[in-house]
Chains A and B, each alone.
Chain A
């Protein structure tokens, strides 16, 4: 079945450093979504990418969707303590049955 792999599982950075998490799917995706879950909280939708090669920015966050629509990345520039949390990618397969497959998540810790 479809799998979505995400690396790294954990990342500790000093405040001000950059951070990137990578997402790879075993199959072509119709779209990819990114979510953030703060400690003790619930996943919150950040963004959706649909087009091959698409790049979107939200302030210090840059999201990319690969040309083959099988991988994606989230890059945070100059991390802040408010960026702490677990970042999940999630993809719909090409058939888009409605089932979203989540990656394992990357937990980001930021040292002040």
Chain B
């Protein structure tokens, strides 16, 4: 059983398009996150939700909008994609602070 799953694994799209990435965790954790990892492997937190409520919102363009329909799901919608959005996006969940990461979604914007 996969603890934290993300779909899709790969996403290739044109500039200006809108896309979504979905994340689900079956660990029963209350807190979920989105991270962005750039080409230099730098991991930066974007958002965090606790029990469906937004608790961390880093300096992220408002083209990025997270949505948590329930505490097991945290989706990320991106509007008007730009070249600089190309990266690997990781979803993670935690209960005690230890992060359990999903497999990642590699987004390529052409």
Contacts and interface: CB of A to CB of B under 8 A. Distances in A.
Interface string B77-110: 0000000000000100000011111111000000
23 contacts: A33-B97, A42-B90, A43-B43, A43-B90, A45-B99, A45-B100, A86-B41, A88-B43, A96-B97, A97-B56, A98-B31, A98-B50, A98-B55, A98-B56, A99-B48, A99-B56, A100-B99, A101-B45, A102-B43, A102-B44, A104-B41, A105-B41, A107-B41
Interface size class of B (residues with CB under 8 A): 20 to 34
Contacts, number: 52
Contacts of A107: 41
B91 to A, nearest CB: 9
B55 A42 contact: no
Contacts of B90: 42-43
> Helix, strand, loop or mixed for chain A's interface?
strand
Contacts of A88: 43
Contacts of B56: 97-99
A92 B97 contact: yes
Interface of A: 31, 33, 35, 37, 41-45, 48, 86, 88, 90, 92, 96-102, 104-105, 107
Contact of B98 (A33, A96, A101): A33
